[in-house]
């Protein structure tokens, strides 16, 4: 029962001052085992804050990140699942399912987490699942100003994943969940 | 009743010699003709057929009881049954007490007789166990279960009672040791399909979101029942409870790993010791969850260890397998007597640990005023551990099992008996205490020297309403 937080596109301090208070009150250290971050934090202080929530922190580089040392893509294995991480500005057209599927096949992962569009999406296709956690601060994106703050928490348990989607809509935190599982025979 | 001097029997030369006579219990028993051997382990090693003839030897020793200087029961009565007696002598050697084989074997026999009867007389059983239960007989497990009122006195009810209790424990385990993920899966199924709740989802018709290998498109989102998500801060959320409990679970884990590191049963790398540790953990976790008032306090693992050890070493196959369930209920029973010691708020109250310690002090004053006056050491320094851990840390493991025999069997209740045993412990080393100063005494009492346990139990018995 591994809890993995997928978060990104905070754009602190350029486009947003901080995480929404309701999100911050929920994110306490000790509950989460891994954090995967799509990028665009942008400064070291945010990195340190995420590190305090969980020591296992994985970040990929977004185009506004001040730390140039983050990799462009990253893959990691948690339980039975292979996860891939990429910011998403490299994949053109931005947010396009087929192009992201191509990236997923390239990285050879079951779950691809990417961002940049600042919109939560969860797609399924033959090669796997693509999850976009959206923007945790609700910062405006290159595409739109109308952004709801959101992030994603995945509960990986054996061959199942339960994805909890946290969104801040009209000042209230709304949580939904998505279930999927991987068949062990799938050649993913 | 203030004593200026020690009573004579305390000063008797009896204490300096290793042979201590243990007086057979005063009540005379009527040994009924033995019923057919029961299904449980109390086998007829002792020769059931010879019981009726034993009664004569027992009653003859009863008469010579009333003074403490009881000589060994007259050899004549014993010679009547030479063959079975030698068998008994071989099988009931207690590590501490090799001199007392003869007298103790009479008790063994009567204990066996007690256990073989259909309806067990608890009062008599208690009397028999006051001075210890023999190790080799393998009956300790059953006797403790009887003394802790886990098994009813009517033997016919044993199997139904045991089945009931074990099923209850299984329920507890399933409900309380469950992972929140699996719990939420159960919720998912009941919301989605309204069919019977199953945990195996391989059929997964209810999972509308399907597997990764088929089709493409947006994944469906579903509502969360009752706001149950992992970051929930609500009091009733199972996730929140899970994270709060995980602290306690960590502490329990640490303590279990540290229990009795010298005994291979509890520690080490073998699969059996790991399984034992797992069982200990499960019991403590379930207890903590069912008792939010006292949760888990450090030291409970020490109280649990002897119980589990005894039940797990039961020669009866059935009891051995279900040792965890049995230990849980007996542990609950045991703790209920000592609950107040673990509650911090009650420390200063009249039922708390402080007042128990002062009662010990009073008891010492009553029996041995000279020592009481001399002993400057605040009893809190040594008696706290003695009392809260029921003397498990003061003696080696097998000795503490003997002491627990006495504690559990005494009709006055374990709390009272414990105080008497502690008092006896102090009196036994009185010579050294009187000769020593504060530091020496403190050192002595905090690492109590090993001593003859049956002597100790005999003395504590004597202190009863003296």
What band does B116 get if pLDDT is binned at 50, 70 and 90? low
The reply to whether residue B211 touches residue A129, judged by beta carbons under 8 angstroms, is no
Residue B99: pLDDT band with limits 50, 70, 90: very low
Residue in chain B nearest A123 by alpha carbon:
B218
- pLDDT at residue number B14: 46
Provide, as residue numbers in chain B, all residues whose Cβ is less than 8 Å from the Cβ of A155.
Answer: 181, 230
From the candidates B219, B238, B244, B250, which should be mutated to test the interface with A, based on the most A CB atoms within 10 A?
Answer: B219
- B445-461: per-residue pLDDT in tens? 888 888 888 888 888 77
Tokens of residue A132, six digits: 């976009």
Position B220 scores a pLDDT of 76
pLDDT at A114: 92
Q: What pLDDT does residue B54 have?
A: 36
Q: Does A14 touch chain B (CB under 8 A)?
A: no
Half-sphere exposure of B280 (CA within 13 A, CB side): 31
Distance CA A171, CA B228 (A): 19
| Segments in chain A below pLDDT 70 | 184-188
Inter-chain residue contact B233 with A164, CB threshold 8 Å:
no
Across the A:B interface, residue pairs with CB atoms under 8 Å apart total 106
Structure tokens, B463: 């202190």
- Is B150 within 8 Å of B162 (Cβ atoms)? no
**What pLDDT, on the 0 to 100 scale, is given for residue B110?**
62
Place of tokens 């994944």: B219
Task: Give the whole-angstrom CA distance, residue A101 versus residue A124.
Answer: 9
On the question of pLDDT at B46 being above 60, the answer is no
Between B32 and A150, where is the model more confident? Answer: A150
Q: What is the mean pLDDT of chain B?
A: 67
Nearest-by-Cβ selection for A186 from B185, B212, B229: B212
Can you give the pLDDT at residue B348?
Answer: 67
Cα-Cα-Cα-Cα torsion B294, B388, B122, B151, nearest 10 degrees, comes to 40
- Say what the pLDDT of residue B53 is: 37
What pTM does this model have?
0.64
Find out whether B145 and B124 touch, Cβ atoms under 8 Å: no
Q: Please tell me which residue, B198 or A181, carries the higher pLDDT value.
A: A181
**8 Å CB contact of B207 and A124:** no
Q: Is A174 on the interface with B (CB under 8 A)?
A: no
Give the three-class secondary structure for B231.
coil
Burial of A20 (0-12, 13-18, 19+ CB in 10 A): middle
Confidence (pLDDT) at A133: 92
| CB contact at 8 A, B280 and B259 | yes
Is the Cβ pair B209, A25 closer than 8 Å?
Answer: no
Can you give the pLDDT at residue A150?
Answer: 93
> What average pLDDT does range B405-434 have in this prediction?
81
Q: How confident is the model at residue B325 (pLDDT cuts 50, 70, 90)?
A: confident
Instruction: Please indicate whether residue B18 or residue B246 has the higher confidence score (pLDDT).
Output: B246
Q: What is the band of B20 on the pLDDT scale with cuts at 50, 70, 90?
A: very low
* Tens digit of each residue's pLDDT (9 = 90 or more) over B341-364: 777 776 666 667 778 888 888 888
pLDDT digits (tens, 9 = 90+) for B120-148: 677 777 777 776 677 666 677 777 777 77
| pLDDT-derived band at B231, boundaries 50, 70, 90 | confident
Using an 8 Å CB-CB cutoff, list chain B residues near A166.
229, 231
What is the number of other CB atoms lying within 10 angstroms of the CB of residue B216?
A: 12
- The residue-averaged pLDDT of B299-320 equals 81
Residue B432 neighbours by CB under 8 Å, 6+ apart: B440, B444
Tens of pLDDT, residue by residue over B333-347, are: 888 877 777 777 766
Give the closest of B209, B217, B229 to A179, CB-based.
B209
Q: How far apart are CA A74 and CA A86, in angstroms?
A: 7
Contacts of B218 in chain A (CB under 8 A): 121-124
Encode pLDDT of B383-398 as tens digits: 888 888 888 888 888 8
What integer pLDDT is reported at residue B136 of this predicted model?
65
Q: Which residues of B touch A188 (CB under 8 A)?
A: 212-213
Q: pLDDT value at position B19?
A: 38
Q: Which of A31, A123, A162 sits opposite B231 (nearest CB)?
A: A31
The answer to whether A45 faces chain B, any CB pair under 8 Å, is: no
What angle, rounded to 10 degrees, do the helices at B397-409 and B140-147 form?
40
Q: What is the pLDDT of residue B452?
A: 82
* Cα–Cα dist B119/B158, whole Å: 11
By Cβ distance, the residue of A125, A126, A164 closest to B230 is A164
Mean pLDDT value of segment B263-272: 79
- Whether B233 sits inside 8 A of A26 (CB atoms) is yes
Going by pLDDT thresholds of 50, 70 and 90, the confidence category of residue B365 is: confident
Q: State the pLDDT at residue B204.
A: 38
Looking at the complex, report in whole angstroms how far the Cα of residue B228 sits from the nearest Cα belonging to chain A.
9
Strand-by-strand arrangement of the A111-114 sheet = A73-78, A81-86, A111-114, A128-133, A120-125, B217-218
Nearest to B221 among A165, A182, A186 (CB): A165
Q: Which residues of A touch B179 (CB under 8 A)?
A: 1, 157
Residue B192 has pLDDT above 60, yes or no: no
Q: How far apart are alpha carbons B153 and B333 in whole angstroms?
A: 16
Does pLDDT of B273 surpass 50?
Answer: yes
* Confidence band of B105 (pLDDT split at 50, 70, 90): low
Q: Considering only CB atoms, which chain A residues are within 8 Å of B209?
A: 124, 178-180
More confident residue, B434 or B352: B434
* Dist CA B222 CA B257 (whole Å): 42
Note whether A171 contacts B: Cβ–Cβ < 8 A.
no
Q: Is the model's pLDDT at B206 over the cut of 50?
A: no
Do B207 and A1 lie within an 8 Å CB cutoff?
Answer: no
pLDDT, mean of residues B114-125: 67
- The predicted complex's ipTM stands at 0.76
Q: Do A26 and B231 touch (CB under 8 A)?
A: yes
pLDDT of residue B92: 35
Show residues of chain B in contact with A97, CB under 8 Å: 216
- Candidates A162, A166, A176; nearest CB to B223: A176
Chain B: residues touching A (Cβ < 8 Å): 179-182, 184-185, 188, 201, 204, 207, 209-224, 227, 229-233, 243
Chain B residue closest to A154 (CA)?
B230
Instruction: Give the model's pLDDT for residue B269.
Output: 76
């Amino acid at each position: 029962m591994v809890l993995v937080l997928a978060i990104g596109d905070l754009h602190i301090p350029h486009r947003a001052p901080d995480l929404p208070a309701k999100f911050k009150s929920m994110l306490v250290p000790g509950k989460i085992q891994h954090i995967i971050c799509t990028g665009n934090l942008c400064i070291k202080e945010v990195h340190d804050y995420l590190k305090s929530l969980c020591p296992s922190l994985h970040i990929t580089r977004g185009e506004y990140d001040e730390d140039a040392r983050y990799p462009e893509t990253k893959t990691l294995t948690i339980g039975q699942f292979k996860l891939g991480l990429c910011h998403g500005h490299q994949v053109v057209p931005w947010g396009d399912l087929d192009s992201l599927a191509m990236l997923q096949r390239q990285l050879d992962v079951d779950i691809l987490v990417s961002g940049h569009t600042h919109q939560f999406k969860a797609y399924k296709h033959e090669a796997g699942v693509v999850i976009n956690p959206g923007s945790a601060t609700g910062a405006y994106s290159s595409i739109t100003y109308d952004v709801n703050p959101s992030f994603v928490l995945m509960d990986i348990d054996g061959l199942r994943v339960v994805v909890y989607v946290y969104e801040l809509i009209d000042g209230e935190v709304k949580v939904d969940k998505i279930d999927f599982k991987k068949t062990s025979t799938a050649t993913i | 009743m203030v004593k200026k001097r020690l009573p004579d029997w305390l000063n008797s030369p009896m204490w300096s010699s290793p042979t201590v006579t243990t007086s057979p219990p005063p009540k005379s028993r009527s040994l009924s003709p033995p019923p057919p051997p029961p299904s449980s382990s109390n086998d007829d090693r002792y020769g059931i057929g010879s019981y009726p003839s034993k009664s004569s030897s027992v009653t003859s020793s009863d008469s010579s009881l009333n003074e403490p200087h009881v000589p060994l029961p007259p050899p004549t009565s014993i010679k009547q049954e030479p063959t079975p007696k030698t068998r008994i002598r071989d099988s009931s050697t207690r590590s501490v007490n090799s001199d007392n084989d003869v007298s103790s074997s009479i008790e063994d026999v009567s204990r066996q007789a007690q256990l073989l009867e259909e309806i067990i007389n608890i009062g008599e059983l208690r009397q028999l166990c006051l001075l210890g239960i023999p190790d080799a007989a393998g009956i300790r497990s059953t006797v403790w279960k009887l003394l802790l009122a886990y098994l009813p006195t009517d033997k016919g009810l044993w199997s139904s009672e045991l089945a009931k209790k074990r099923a209850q424990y299984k329920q507890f385990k399933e409900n309380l040791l469950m992972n929140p993920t699996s719990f939420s899966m159960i919720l998912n199924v009941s919301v989605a399909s309204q069919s019977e709740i199953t945990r195996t989802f391989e059929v997964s018709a209810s999972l509308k979101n399907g597997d990764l290998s088929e089709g493409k498109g947006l994944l469906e989102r579903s509502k969360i029942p009752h706001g149950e998500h992992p970051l929930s801060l609500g009091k009733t959320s199972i996730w929140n409870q899970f994270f709060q409990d995980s602290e306690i679970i960590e502490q329990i884990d640490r303590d279990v790993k540290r229990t009795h590191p010298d005994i291979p049963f509890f520690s080490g790398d073998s699969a059996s010791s790991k399984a034992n540790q797992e069982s200990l953990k499960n019991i403590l976790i379930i207890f903590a969850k069912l008792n939010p008032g006292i949760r888990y306090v450090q030291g409970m693992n020490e109280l649990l260890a002897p119980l589990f050890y005894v039940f797990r070493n039961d020669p009866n196959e059935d009891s051995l397998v279900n040792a965890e369930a049995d230990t849980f209920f007996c542990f609950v029973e045991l703790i209920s007597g000592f609950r107040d010691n673990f509650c911090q708020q009650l420390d200063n109250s009249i039922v708390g640990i402080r007042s128990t310690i002062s009662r010990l002090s009073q008891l010492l004053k009553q029996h041995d005023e000279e020592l009481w006056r001399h002993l400057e050491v605040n009893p809190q320094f040594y008696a706290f551990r003695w009392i809260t851990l029921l003397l498990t840390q003061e003696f080696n493991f097998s000795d503490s099992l003997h002491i627990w025999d006495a504690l559990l069997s005494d009709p006055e209740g374990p709390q009272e008996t414990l105080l008497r045993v502690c008092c006896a412990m102090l009196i036994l080393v009185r010579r050294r205490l009187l000769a020593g100063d504060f530091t020496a005494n403190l050192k002595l009492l905090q690492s109590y020297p090993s001593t003859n346990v049956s002597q100790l139990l005999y003395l504590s018995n004597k202190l009863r309403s003296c």
